[in-house]
Chains A and B, each alone.
Chain A
Amino acid sequence: MLKVHRDICGYCGCCVSVCPEGALELIDAYLSVEDNCTSCGVCAKVCPLGALEVIDEK
């Protein structure tokens, strides 16, 4: 599952541009994660601030 650390996120949209599923959407100052997110972690890698984290659900 993709966790958005909202205290770190600078709502810049860098992650949105690399998401292969189009599962991220920046709604003004709120990053939304849609159901088609596969937790691939590409967004977490490129985030300039480290605001995204893939969390193991098990």
Chain B
Amino acid sequence: MKNKYDVLVIGGGPAGALAAKTAVEKGLSACIVEKRQAIGTPVRCAEGIGREALHEFIDPDPRWISAEMTGAGIVAPDGFFMKLESAYAGNKVGYILDRKFFDRELVWKAAEAGADVAVKSRASAPIMDHGVVKGAKVEYCGKVTKVGAEVVIAADGVESKFSRWCGIDTTVPVREIMSSVQYVIADIDIDPHATIFYLGNEVAPEGYLWVFPKGERSANVGIGISGKKSGEGHRAKDYLDRFVKKTFPDGKTIEYIPGGVSVCRPLDSTVADGLMITGDAARVVDPLTGGGIYNAMYTGRLAAQVAAECISKGDTTREALMIYDKTWRASKMGKAIERNYHIKEYLIRQSDEKLNAIIHSVAKLNLSEFSTLTLIKELIKVNPKLVLELGALAASLH
């Protein structure tokens, strides 16, 4: 690690890796600092990503694809099963990644492109000059190094402490943190090519429970519940343990991963003087699905592209970096976040009876495009009353 870089990236997840890789490809010097001892662990992720979303960044590699998906299913609170398939039978619609290897691959690519990487190295404070971010203090084995940078890209995940130290409020409202636990369970009977979502206030209040295949007979079995609904005796782990005991009594848990996923709106501003905020740290997780891998890679890459332009012009003020903020908000991703936020807010207010009624309306859907938008549109088609309930939101779906 040197004492000065064009771009200093805090965090070695998908957002940080894409930011560093893009920065060096644009001719900048860049370094990733990762506080954990290894890239890729702990996983803290259900590991699902859509087919097109992944292909936009990298071609799938069997070394980090755990399973290929051809469909999905939604289990209503009363147990009714709705099957979702591609309109093109047997088509791959998404993947379950092996994030331990996937994240490592992304950081490898950044390193091979020329980025420096430092693990077990924690950015413990920003270097500030008259309110402008000028770098970070980085701790490694008890030693503190000052690392200067033209732009710091915060990609420090759900904790998002770096931006907070720079004066930006990144606090997630209690009701909008998904308090989560996931087990990797081996030797169980599952559909190895479909992601299954369980809904209902008894199963996962204001959240959902998932079974995402990791192989022929193993899966990520996890849950996220609203922080508001969490408390002694009714925590995410309590709900998950109850489900697993009932559904996979003979399964063998080979990994135990707690976590937190934000389902709030993104930060009001994802830039400051000398600072850009990306991925989970920027709260750009999809509020409906909790998915964040694509959004992290997208914002990480975009941040570095904008940083490169601003650095070349010698202007890294908030105003100059603002084009990053504006671009992602206007992007397909930004619009999906806003739309899905409203859909999430609608869904968490519905009773189990109402959810049952919506899901009962159809036993099987063939989706032309495997997205939440297409799913919602199809559900509205068979539940015309939803148009009234969704109001302005329904109009925006077209």
Seen from chain A, the residues whose Cβ lies within 8 Å of a Cβ on chain B are: 10-20, 22, 25-28, 42, 45-50
Contacts and interface: CB of A to CB of B under 8 A. Distances in A.
A14 B258 contact: yes
A12 B171 CA distance: 16
Nearest to B260: A14
B241 to A, nearest CB: 11
Interface of B: 35-37, 42, 44, 120, 122, 157-161, 164-165, 170-174, 177, 179-181, 227, 230-232, 235-237, 256-260, 262
Contact of A16 (B161, B179, B257): B161
7 contacts: A14-B179, A20-B171, A22-B164, A22-B165, A22-B171, A27-B35, A48-B236
A48 B179 contact: yes
A53 to B, nearest CB: 9
Nearest to A26: B159
A17 B170 contact: yes
A10 B159 contact: no
Nearest to A9: B258
B179 to A, nearest CB: 4
Contacts of A12: 42, 44, 257-260
Given A14-B259, A17-B171, A17-B172, A46 B35 contact: no
Nearest to B34: A28
Contacts of A49: 181, 235-237, 258
Contacts, number: 94
Contacts of B37: 28
B47 to A, nearest CB: 16
Contacts of B171: 17-20, 22
Contacts of B160: 17
A30 to B, nearest CB: 11
B164 A46 contact: no
A2 B157 CA distance: 24
B157 A13 contact: yes
B177 A46 contact: yes
A17 B174 contact: no
A38 to B, nearest CB: 13
A32 to B, nearest CB: 11
Contacts of B173: 18
A48 B180 CA distance: 6
Given A28-B37, A45-B231, A17 B177 contact: yes
Contacts of B44: 12-13
A54 to B, nearest CB: 11
A45 B174 contact: yes
A42 to B, nearest CB: 6
B290 to A, nearest CB: 13
A48 B181 contact: yes
A10 B122 CA distance: 19
The 9 closest A-B pairs by CB, nearest first: A14-B260, A46-B227, A10-B258, A48-B236, A12-B258, A16-B159, A13-B159, A48-B179, A48-B258
- Kindly name the residue among A11, A16, A17 whose own CB sees the greatest number of chain B CB atoms within 10 A: A17
A10 B260 CA distance: 11
A48 B35 CA distance: 22
Contacts of A10: 42, 256-258
Contact of A22 (B36, B161, B181): B161
A49 B239 CA distance: 11
